[in-house]
Amino acid sequence: MKIASIVGARPNFVKLAPVSREIRKGFDEIIIHTGQHYDYQMDRIFFQELGIPKPDYHLGVGSASHGHQTGEMLKGIEDALLKEKPDLALVFGDTNTTLAGALAAAKLHIPVAHVEAGLRSFDKKMPEEVNRVLVDHCSDLLSCPTKTAVDNLKKEGIAKGVHLTGDVMADILKDCISIALKSSKILEELALSPKEYYLATVHRAENTDDPKRLKSIIDALCDIENVVFACHPRTERLLRERGLLDILKEKVKVIKPVGYLDMLLLENNARKILTDSGGVQKEAYMLKVPCITMRDETEWVETIDDGWNVLAGADRKTIVKAALEFDPASEQREMFGKGDASVRIVKAMKDYLIDRSLEKSQGID
């Protein structure tokens, strides 16, 4: 049995790492990399640190408008799938790579498994929301990280093939946190003391592409003392174009994106985290670091309900107030699983493929 794992962007790589390890215990795996992300710090560092095997196909698509980028990926993925004829295609999260992978496979009648299915922000202006909805509706196996995700799918009429597996980001975090604590030197390199700095990331289109929202977030980060900002290349480019980068650098420690191990250490030792990233919100929760989400809504509603995450939008005053005052006091639930999501996902894929081959041999398909 052959699985084709399709990835291309930073959060795809983090999710692939634990699943790929598990897949290779019982299946052949080929990895198709679209090249959506390509800077060393956004791409190869994750393969190296997380021991992800070298991709079998690298499509080199790179950056472009959504339609152009997704179209190029679709062509390249289709060619690779036609050549490899995998039994199942595996896609992760909600990027344009995820959509292209699911669509290419579904059109070739290759079953699609979606890791991190059922997440919704209910905002169709978010490119990720369009991707998620479409991918879920053409997937055969849907791995949900949370009960909320299962319920979201049910409301859209999707129940077949749905599995509540937990979150693969809990698996990889549990695997890597002790390694990060031992090996990362990022605090010394940046002269940071534990719990004395705030960690920020910003990259969502709704924040970066709207000049008012980005300016307001940047003003807030400048108002807060001791912020380290791991700046996504998209954000860096837009800040430079709008003449904001130098102003920001006067008040805030702006650094390039870091690798996963350095990121875990930065997160673990931060006083609070300010972010618009989906993955970072979950990691903040799992590391018990208060999180201020600079968005108007989140897919990870459990972290809000549990009191460890707060929505601040892009409003300068609200962000600064939360940075100073937000103080979660509550206990936590183990809401992202026990760190065995990858095992559950691979078991679900195996069961699915066995059932399918039985049906085929009986002429049911």
From the list 94, 224, 197, 300, the residue with the least C-alpha distance to 102 is: 94
Q: Rank residues 20 and 208 by Cβ distance to ligand UD1 and give the closer one.
A: 208
Q: Does 277 bind ligand UDP (CB under 6 A)?
A: yes
Q: Which stretch binds ligand UDP (CB under 6 A): 140-148, 192-200, 274-282, 329-337?
A: 274-282
- Site residues (vs ligand UD1, CB under 6 A): 9-11, 36-39, 42, 63, 94-96, 127-128, 203, 232-234, 237
- Residue from 260, 285, 308, 336 touching ligand UDP (CB under 6 A): that is 260
Q: Does 91 bind ligand UDP (CB under 6 A)?
A: no
Contact assessment for residue 289 and residue 309, using Cβ atoms and an 8 Å cutoff: no
Q: Whose structure tokens read 């190296």?
A: 48
Residue 63 interacts, among ligand UD1, ligand UDP, none and using kind-specific CB cut-offs from 5 to 8 Å, with ligand UD1
For 61, the token pair is 């698509």
- Residue from 161, 279, 328, 337 touching ligand UDP (CB under 6 A): that is 279
Question: Least distance from C-beta 36 to ligand UD1, angstroms?
Answer: 5
Residue 71 interacts, among ligand UD1, ligand UDP, none and using kind-specific CB cut-offs from 5 to 8 Å, with none
* Catalytic residue (one of 33, 114, 203, 232): 203
- CA dist 83 and 66 (Å) reads 26
Question: Least distance from C-beta 316 to ligand UDP, angstroms?
Answer: 22
Task: Show contacts with ligand UDP in window 155-214 (CB under 6 A).
Answer: 201
Could you list the beta-strand ranges (E) of the chain. Answer: 2-7, 28-33, 57-58, 88-92, 112-115, 141-144, 162-164, 198-201, 227-230, 253-255, 272-275, 291-293, 309-311
Question: Least distance from C-beta 232 to ligand UD1, angstroms?
Answer: 6
From the list 105, 351, 58, 231, the residue with the least C-alpha distance to 218 is: 231
Q: Rank residues 84 and 296 by Cβ distance to ligand UD1 and give the closer one.
A: 296
Phi, psi dihedral angles at 274 (to 5 degrees): -115, 120
* Class of residue 228 by CB neighbours under 10 A (exposed 0-12, middle 13-18, buried 19+): buried
* Class of residue 185 by CB neighbours under 10 A (exposed 0-12, middle 13-18, buried 19+): exposed
Residue 263 interacts, among ligand UD1, ligand UDP, none and using kind-specific CB cut-offs from 5 to 8 Å, with ligand UDP
* Class of residue 125 by CB neighbours under 10 A (exposed 0-12, middle 13-18, buried 19+): exposed
- Residue from 30, 230, 252, 353 touching ligand UDP (CB under 6 A): that is 230
For 364, the token pair is 């049911």
Q: Does 8 bind ligand UDP (CB under 6 A)?
A: no
Q: Rank residues 244 and 349 by Cβ distance to ligand UD1 and give the closer one.
A: 244
Task: Give the strand order in the sheet containing 162-164.
Answer: 57-58, 28-33, 2-7, 88-92, 112-115, 141-144, 162-164
Question: Least distance from C-beta 302 to ligand UD1, angstroms?
Answer: 19
Q: Rank residues 161 and 279 by Cβ distance to ligand UD1 and give the closer one.
A: 279
Phi, psi dihedral angles at 293 (to 5 degrees): -95, 120
The contact pattern for ligand UDP, residues 13-52, with x = CB under 6 A and - = no contact, is: -x--------------------------------------
Q: Rank residues 131 and 268 by Cβ distance to ligand UD1 and give the closer one.
A: 131
Is 203 considered catalytic here?
Answer: yes
- CA dist 23 and 19 (Å) reads 6
Task: Show contacts with ligand UDP in window 334-363 (CB under 6 A).
Answer: none
DSSP 8-state secondary structure symbol assigned to residue 52:
P
- CA dist 53 and 110 (Å) reads 23
Binding site for ligand UDP (CB under 6 A): 10-11, 14, 201, 230, 257-260, 263, 277-280, 283
Catalytic residues: 203
